[in-house]
Amino acid sequence: MQQIIFTVLVLFSLNSAQNWRFNIHDPSSIVKEDDKYWIYGTGDGIHAAYSHDLITWTNANSPYSKTQFPAWIGDYVKGATDDQGQEIFHGGFWAPDIHYMNGKYHLYYSASEWGTMTSIVGGTTNLTLDPENPQYKWEDLGFMGIWSYQPGLALNAIDPAVMRGHDGRVWLIYGSFNQEGIVITELDTLTGKPKDYPGNLPGKSIANSWTGPNARDYAEGEGAAGIYHDGYYYLFYDKGGCCAGVNSTYYVVVGRSKEPTGPYVDKEGKNLKVDGAPSGGTVLMKHRDELGDEDRYYGPGHIGFFHENGVDYVSFHYYDPNWPYPEQRAGGPTLGLAKIVWEADGWPSISLDFVAPGTYNLTNVNSQKVLGVQNNQVQDQGLLWQYDFDSMEHSQQWILNTLGHGEYSIQNAANPELYVEADNDNILRLTANFSGAINQKFRIALGSDGQSIIYTSAGDDLWEIPNAAMENSQVKLWPHTNHPCQKWVLSEAKTIEDNPIDSNDIEDPTSINTLTASLAQINFKNNILQISFTNSAGEVNIQITDILGKPIWKKNHNTGNALIANLPLNTGVYVLKLSGAVNQSQILQIKP
């Protein structure tokens, strides 16, 4: 977090509600204990929160409050004054990070006073993060030997982050706008403190752009974090300025090195540590200024990491124009979550796309009905509606297209020329006039439980079933309530389509699935349905149902030609019905 004398840091009030969007500044990495995900951030005291699904977050007990913290911090950090005018530390904790090692959670923090450069990096440990657990107790590590100012060293001791290498060695990265910039020191995994060997304290500078103390842009870089991947250590950090709402200019860059202590270079080979000139750094996240508020991610920065189910994620904050921000027109600090995509060249990119493009059925978690169109009439201005699932109803399938930056356009599969759009109120409807306007773009947040919320790209209203209706009803937009009627499960649409193939590819019809009638010979084997007709009698309607009569597939076909279709049917018993020019019913038994 940058320290600028003329800027005022605003610490937001906390509450215990389950929040989406979640207000946090300088988020830590995310750790999971049992069924809860935990994150920490800047605050009066250390901001703590947990989530069950990575979408909604609940504020939790602070490890240290504004008034209750280790007394030794006050020996190094002063700047505020008490009622008697004595200089004191007022309890502002910045940019913590958390890491689990040797059976304990290690929470590293910085303590500072805004507008000064008197800061320390400290740490505290706990066996559990759950305040209800009898073993819950934070044990401070004491003074770790990292503080500002140290004699003869222009160091800014804030923004700690933990990095573990492939060899099990653990490193603490910290630092900010100053001569030394971003610094790295090795941690002792047993004590949690920096190791005691020459040159390890206060650490080695690995990224900066020092240009002298009198220049307005005298240095670059803070909020660093590191991750090891496939032979390289990757250093993510912020350039630009924070803490000014939508006027913040933070953006995220990256460089990599074979060694944790550097040198780190960007994709162009430019060093991240340069004296007297701008440093390198490949840009990963940056606000698209030409879009204004249509890109809600102002000033993205302060990366943390989280790994689950084979995927690397980043936590970060950004300034959302939909939030109030004192003394600024908008831009409350908001928690963001994104995926790291490791590209073919080994370098990372950041993706906000949590759902792959494709055709989906959308099932409402509360009603268990699926998204469709009113009266199944797929037409311009048709309203979105919920109905019972019908595998025969093509209008219940939706095509998701990624537009980049976490945005999607959504088409109806029954008529892909029709797209979903939001009006200026709470209506969701189809339109034949897709222009890529902001009200025709949507975002999807996918929870760890497989449930998603869908919302307009520039707004905060979610797709929901009003009044949590269980019957067939309209789908509208509404502010977040954390009710299941606002949550959806996206499942790949199970379509059964004709797949013509050469008749020579059909095996000889020698199984029990071959049925012969006077007007049609029916063969089903290896998911291939083949019907040959004895004469050309005209149009025939072909329908397959389950044994209870539920429609599975249908097609109109001319008997002048044989039918060959690929039908991915599960094991079971089905009824094949022919009507029209040919009237015939047969049982299809699909064996394992």
Query: Is it the case that residue 83 has pLDDT exceeding 70?
Result: yes
Q: Which one of 26, 113, 220, 353 is the catalytic residue? A: 26
pLDDT confidence tier of residue 449, bands split at 50, 70 and 90 = very high
- Give the CA angle between residues 234, 239, 242 to the nearest 5°: 125
Which has more confidence, 509 or 245?
Answer: 245
Q: Single out the residue in 492, 515, 545 at which a domain terminates.
A: 492
The answer to whether residues 523 and 479 belong to one domain is no
pLDDT of res. 572: 74
Residue 508 is predicted with a pLDDT of: 34
- Using the predicted structure, report yes or no on whether residue 64 has a pLDDT greater than 80: yes
Same domain, yes or no: 332 and 412:
no
Residue 12 resides in a domain: no
pLDDT at residue 100 tops 60: yes
In the prediction, which pLDDT does 219 show?
Answer: 64
Considering the domain architecture, whether residues 128 and 254 belong to the same structural domain is answered as yes
Predicted confidence at residue 11, as pLDDT, reads 34
**Could you give the maximum distance between any two Cα atoms of the chain, in Å?**
105
Edge-to-edge strand ranges of the sheet holding 572-580: 551-558, 539-546, 572-580, 584-590
pLDDT band at 536 (very low <50, low <70, confident <90, very high): confident
Tally Cβ neighbours within 10 Å of residue 218: 15
Q: How far apart are CA 102 and CA 521, in angstroms?
A: 70
Instruction: Report the CATH number at residue 482.
Output: 2.80.10.50
> Is residue 15 pLDDT above 50, yes or no?
no
Q: Does residue 13 lie within any of the structural domains?
A: no
Query: What's the total number of domains in the chain?
Result: 3
Mean pLDDT of 308-337: 88
Checking if the pLDDT of 433 tops 70, the result is: yes
Question: 161 and 179: one domain?
Answer: yes
Instruction: State residue 561's pLDDT score.
Output: 79
| Pairing verdict, β 398-404 and 358-364 | antiparallel
Range of the domain at 563: 503-590
Final residue in a domain of this structure, among 294, 326, 351: 351
* For residue 155, pLDDT beyond 50: yes
Are 92 and 183 part of one and the same domain? yes
Separation of alpha carbons 290 and 243, rounded Å: 21
Report the pLDDT value the prediction gives residue 326, as an integer from 0 to 100: 62
| Local confidence band at 527 (pLDDT 50, 70, 90 cut-offs) | confident
Domain annotation covers residue 11? no
Same domain, 332 and 392: no
Is there a single domain that holds both residue 272 and residue 292? yes
pLDDT at 531: 84
% of residues, the chain, pLDDT over 90: 67
Let me know if residue 5 belongs to a domain: no
What rounded mean pLDDT belongs to the chain?
88
Element holding 473 (H helix, E strand): strand 473-474
Name the token pair of 101: 């090692």
Q: Tell me, yes or no, whether 228 lies in a domain.
A: yes
174 pLDDT band, cuts 50/70/90, is very high
Q: Is 312 a catalytic residue?
A: no
Do 479 and 535 reside in the same domain of the chain?
no
The answer to whether residue 220 is domain-embedded is yes
Q: Tell me the C-alpha to C-alpha distance, in Å, between residue 144 and each of 181, 202, 257.
A: 19, 10, 26
Is a pLDDT exceeding 70 seen at residue 547? Answer: no
- Bridge partner residues of 551 (DSSP): 545
| Tens digits of residue pLDDT in 354-386 | 999 999 999 999 999 999 999 999 999 999 999
Same domain, 471 and 544: no
Do 121 and 160 touch, CB atoms closer than 8 A? yes
- Cα distance between residue 385 and residue 379, in whole Å: 13
User: Do 407 and 519 sit in the same domain of this protein?
Assistant: no
Boundary of a domain, candidates 297, 320, 351: 351
Cβ atoms of 62 and 362 within 8 Å: the answer is: no
Residues 6+ apart with CB under 8 A from 81: 87, 88
> Is there a contact between 428 and 410 (Cβ–Cβ < 8 Å)?
no
- Give the pLDDT band (50/70/90) at residue 505: very low
> What integer is the mean pLDDT of 224-239?
98
Contact 389, 396 (CB under 8 A): yes
Region 483-498 average pLDDT: 80
Domain membership of residue 498 (yes or no) is no
* Whether 543 and 486 share a structural domain: no
User: In this structure, what CATH number is given to the domain that contains residue 536?
Assistant: 2.60.40.3080
Q: What is the pLDDT of residues 24-55, one digit of tens each?
A: 999 999 999 999 999 999 998 999 999 999 99
For tokens 């701008």, the residue is 278
Confidence band (pLDDT; 50, 70, 90) for 162?
very high
pLDDT at 288 over 80: yes
Average pLDDT estimate for 246-254: 96
Quickly count: other Cβ atoms within 10 Å of residue 488's Cβ: 27
Supply the pTM of this predicted model. Answer: 0.82
Residue 26 annotated in active site = yes
**Which pLDDT score is estimated for 532?**
82
Q: Could you tell me if 46 and 189 lie in one domain?
A: yes
Which of these is catalytic: 44, 113, 220, 222? 222
**CATH assignment of the domain containing 323:** 2.115.10.20
- Residue 258 is assigned to a structural domain of this protein: yes
